[in-house]
Chain A
Amino acid sequence: GAGVSQTPSNKVTEKGKYVELRCDPISGHTALYWYRQSLGQGPEFLIYFQGTGAADDSGLPNDRFFAVRPEGSVSTLKIQRTERGDSAVYLCASSLGAIWGETQYFGPGTRLLVL
């Protein structure tokens, strides 16, 4: 079956612009996660959804970052007034449920470059 898909695969934008990154989880997975991976670093948690609601957004760095999952499937990560420091790979993962330690399956990521 299909894995987690993310679009676009690459995004180049200018400082100050708005961007949207999309994640399509594995069908039937109720939990969805966003992580950010900077060069030479491991993924760092941003936000987690259980169904349509954000269950934990403690990893969002500031209020320029926002994410939605209106129908409990596809999610969009939105970044306003982008800064050069936002350049990173944004990874999405999904899991069947929200049990502690449940396996998370990752998408290929969106590479964001802010010029």
Chain B
Amino acid sequence: QKEVEQDPGPLSVPEGAIVSLNCTYSNSAFQYFMWYRQYSRKGPELLMYTYSSGNKEDGRFTAQVDKSSKYISLFIRDSQPSDSATYLCAMSGRGTGNQFYFGTGTSLTVIP
């Protein structure tokens, strides 16, 4: 079993839709949770960063962490064609090393 599980999609939505992306994990030591966006043939770009449980909002993006369920989510409101990319969840924590553990990524296409 992989440490971080993420549905690879692909996910296709119409412009303006609300998008929900999710990851589950198995290691209870994870405390830092990140969402990266990766455009085709580019490196991952940090989108959201959350420490421990709770919600964080930044513009059209909301990150949620539920440590009791080992489940994290990224919501995108009013999705735009420019949001079309692969979204990677990543996490780390004390005792897990300084590396980030990534999900496989979810490919999202927003159709104009």
Q: Which residues of A contact B (CB under 8 A)?
A: 4, 31, 33, 35, 40-45, 48, 55-56, 58-59, 91, 98, 100-109, 111
Contact = CB atoms under 8 A, between A and B. Distances in A.
Interface stretch (B11-19, B76-84, B100-108): B100-108
Given A45-B99, A100-B32, A100-B98, A91 B51 contact: no
Nearest to B89: A42
A75 to B, nearest CB: 15
A100 B99 CA distance: 9
Nearest to B45: A106
Interface string B84-112: 00001010111011111111110000000
Interface size class of B (residues with CB under 8 A): 20 to 34
B102 A58 contact: no
Contact of B43 (A42, A44, A108): A108
A23 B88 CA distance: 22
Nearest to B29: A100
B54 interface: no
Given A100-B92, A103-B46, 14 more contacts: A31-B98, A33-B98, A42-B4, A42-B105, A43-B88, A48-B97, A48-B98, A48-B99, A56-B98, A101-B31, A101-B92, A104-B46, A104-B100, A106-B44
A101 B103 CA distance: 16
B98 A98 contact: yes
A104 B34 CA distance: 10
A32 to B, nearest CB: 11
Contact of B97 (A44, A58, A109): A58
Interface in B32-47: 32, 34, 36, 41-46
